[in-house]
Amino acid sequence: MKLQRKNGLRASALGALAVTGALVLTACGSDDNTASTGGSGTKTSAASDISCEGAQGKLLASGSSAQKNAMDLWVKNYMAACSGVEINYKSSSSGEGIVAFNQGTVGFAGSDSALKPDEVAESKKICKSGQGIDLPMVGGPIAIGYNLPGVDDLVLDAPTIAKIFDSKIKKWNDPAIVKLNPGKNLPDKAVQAFHRSEDSGTTQNLGKYLGSTAKAEWPYEAEKKWPAPGGQAASGSSGVAAQVKQVDGAIGYFELSYATSQSIPTVSIDTGASAPVAATSENASKAIAAAKVKGTGKDLALEIDYATKAEGAYPIVLVTYEVVCDTGNKPETLSTVKSFLTYTSSDAGQKILADHGYAPIPTEIITKVRETVAGLK
């Protein structure tokens, strides 16, 4: 990735906050949690404002690898603030997280897709007096990363992306790619397309985008399991990113944070707007800010317009949810779940996202999340 793009990512983070209405970033040093009195019922430094009240013991959680980098930051900050509390988030996949939640083995699950009706019904066995609900916590672009030395600023559109991942486009100098990239020296090289090997909300969100914008080229339902023949599989977003980084001619999909951390160049999308749209936090925020709450009751699942042609709106986005019981959470972990999710949804928790390839959740939505977390029982 060119240095200009790297700098642009960081600069765009400030724009993302303005679009979503989140607080403006303050100095990077305020992300550190250096002061802690430790123990249950205490509060840490004003820089993080993490309340440890009632938190204790060990909290297990699992699910989405899309939010792994955000969760790593949150867990580090929270555990530094709350002495004696251990948060163990297993980054696996959205599908595995939901299964673990509905088996009652975790306090909350991370998922890149909202609960389906059958999953909600199953959750009622665990949430004895309630049901599982979706709390949007992390937003950001699903980047299409590629490995083509000498080819910068690659542009693709939805039909072309669909044909690539459906094994219909096999060479990088295919006429469809050449047409979108005039003047670029595209090699006569095989396309090596990588997808997720396990059930994944990231896969499902990519499928929603392709199904909304390239129906003729992508005849598959948007499911967590990869639907198309061919291609090569890797485990987790980290696995797909690692393969793209290593394999000449590779292309794959993963959250922007993985591309940023490994300097993997990403595709700009021709959406039909006046100019192709790059995968940045700011551009993803423009799409997420237009999302509508489709959940009922305390459920805050969002509906995203993947077919947007708004100027500067990056369309391949995901929102990662934390899945909890609205009522009926386990008494031994309830206080810790509330304490931790109160931090992740706070101004302090949200403002660290943009620096790491994510987009903060818009103010009007994250405010509802905070209210819901406070009322968990």
Q: Report pLDDT for 90.
A: 96
Q: Report pLDDT for 356.
A: 82
CB 248 within 8 A of CB 256: no
- Helix spans in the chain (H): 3-20, 68-81, 94-102, 117-123, 158-165, 175-180, 201-213, 236-246, 256-262, 281-288, 331-344, 347-351, 363-374
Task: With a cut of 70, list the residues of the chain below it in pLDDT.
Answer: 1-48
Q: Report pLDDT for 353.
A: 87
Gap between the Cα atoms of 145 and 141, Å rounded: 12
DSSP character string of 36-73:
---STT-B--TTT--B-TT--EEEEEEE-STTHHHHHH
CB 198 within 8 A of CB 236: yes
Q: Is the pTM of this model over 0.85?
A: no
Print burial letters for 77-101: b (CB count within 10 Å at least 16), e (below 16).
bbbbbbeebebebbbbbbbbbbbbb
Q: Report pLDDT for 43.
A: 44
Q: Report pLDDT for 203.
A: 94
